[in-house]
Amino acid sequence: MALSIFKNEESEAMAKGRRTTVVVFALFFSWLLAFPFEGRILYAITDYHGVSAHSFLFGAMAAHFAGLVACGFFVRTMRAAKWLILFSIAFCAAATGAFFFQPSPLWAAALYPAAFLVGCCVAAWGYYFKGCTSKSVRIKTMADCLIFSNLLMTLLNMTAIHISPQAGLGFSILMLILAFVSATRLPETETLWEEENKSVEKPVAVNVSIAGPLVFLCLFIVVITINSGLMYQVVNPAFAHLEWLASWYWAMPYIAALFIMRNLPRTTDRSYTLYVAIAMIGISFILFVILGRSWAEYLAVNTLLLGACGVYDLFWWSILGEMLDLHKNPAKIIGVGLAANVLGVLLGGLVGNAIGADAPDQNHTLLALGVVCLTLVLLPPLNSRLAKLLTSHVYLTAFAEMPVQEQTKLIDELDITEKLTATESKVAPLLIQGKSYKAIAKELFVAERTVKYHAGNIYSKAGVSSKTELANLILRKPNSN
């Protein structure tokens, strides 16, 4: 199993906590994806009773957004996060049971508070994403969470579609019961994280320093996920006649993309995959216009679109995972980031409905391509802002995670190596590892201004302006493995 890959990269206590964290997330997130968040179970149960799902869906998404944003303001400890998670899961299980009865105001009274609480639950889970996962494996942890939750969601969807909506409801409640049982095993203190990171230098005034990059990241997430909203409201309904195929294949490209990104070699420059994913989104909507509505066309459009979604979801999740170490309240970071995702999907859905399902496909495609162009404009400045804040961001940490022997080999292969002085040769690898000037000064027993002086010389000789660019220069060498 994928989860066993980490055992050599973290302590046994951290590994146990991380496994529990992944299980809890996957179980309750599968319920979220299959039921209140554009879920096929909700569609199936409303179709069964002959009522519209749209009013419930948009209301549930709005409540989910509110829960994500609100959680960080009243959950400020891991203990509070655990009890909120337990209460939220129990309430969601009871609320789901209301849909076994005939349509009534009870449905809305159960669904909207449940959607709000599951938003709080996801945000509160940020404490465990930070506290039970070593920084070096957070991208893998998040990939596992998303992979397993989507696999479980697919099973829930297939149950609701091919057996009965009521069976899907019952199966989703079982997921929540299992999530509740697993959540009882979550730790209540941050002892694990403190022990694992006791030697990590804490940044100063971190709440202020991450505000700008976080806002820009949220803007980027909103824009890129507008296409997800269009997918739900425009693309998926267009292939509704392929229910059997869509029931099991829909999330498969997403899962495959996550698996590939999770297992890329450490020296792979992941930044290129973002541009590939943008191209995939644009091509998918173009194909949506020019192709028909057969199973082959569905496979082409869905594979490109959902594969791109997998690449981007893991990208911005990984950034949020890095930001957790720069803020005292993980629930705020995860909550705000996921709220941006929900807002983008909500806006995309509203715009798709405003244009109208009967409008020419070209109208929706032009909007989608406009989003793609805006994404291309936002990506470079986003990367610049993040690189200044997250010098060891997961998309740029391949060098730092290598054994010392491999680091030395790559630095020796750099064209500027012979130009470096003896001191600069000692400073360069520490810079590339993402260490601060202060930390390097302590390690080399020199003044911080001396490190800055040598760093400036190194950047000048390499033709770069930051430690991130220096790392990329090394990792992109043709001979690098």
State the residue for tokens 């969807």.
157
The CA distance from 335 to 320, in Å, is 10
Structure-token pair, residue 271: 């930044």
The CA distance from 261 to 166, in Å, is 36
pLDDT per residue, tens digit, the chain (481 aa), is 444 444 444 556 667 778 899 999 999 999 999 998 888 899 999 999 989 887 788 889 899 999 999 999 999 899 999 999 999 999 999 999 999 999 999 999 999 999 999 999 999 999 999 888 877 788 889 999 999 999 999 999 999 999 999 999 999 999 999 999 999 998 877 654 444 444 333 433 333 367 888 888 999 999 888 888 777 777 888 888 898 999 899 999 999 999 999 888 765 667 778 888 989 988 998 888 888 889 999 999 999 999 999 999 998 898 898 888 878 899 999 999 999 999 988 888 777 666 655 556 566 677 778 888 888 888 878 877 776 666 555 454 555 555 566 666 666 666 565 677 878 878 887 777 667 777 788 888 888 888 888 888 888 877 776 666 666 666 555 444 4
Query: Other CB atoms closer than 10 Å to residue 77's CB: what's the count?
Result: 14
Q: In this predicted structure, what is the pLDDT of residue 474?
A: 61
263-266 CB contacts, 8 Å cutoff, 24+ apart: 265/481, 266/398, 266/401, 266/402
Structure-token pair, residue 459: 């950047």
Question: Which of the 8 DSSP states describes residue 235?
Answer: I
Q: In this predicted structure, what is the pLDDT of residue 166?
A: 95
Cβ partners under 8 Å of residue 328, min gap 6? 206, 207
Q: In this predicted structure, what is the pLDDT of residue 67?
A: 95
Q: In this predicted structure, what is the pLDDT of residue 385?
A: 72
The CA distance from 236 to 92, in Å, is 26
The answer to whether the beta carbons of residues 129 and 189 sit under 8 Å apart is no
Q: Which domains does the chain have, with CATH numbers?
A: 10-192 (1.20.1250.20), 210-390 (1.20.1250.20), 401-475 (1.10.10.10)
Upper half-sphere CA count for residue 303 (Cβ side, 13 Å): 8
Q: In this predicted structure, what is the pLDDT of residue 196?
A: 46
Q: In this predicted structure, what is the pLDDT of residue 425?
A: 78
Residue 463 gets the label, from left (phi > 0), alpha (psi -120 to 50) or beta, of left
Q: In this predicted structure, what is the pLDDT of residue 3?
A: 43
Cβ partners under 8 Å of residue 347, min gap 6? 222, 226, 229
**460, amino acid identity:** S
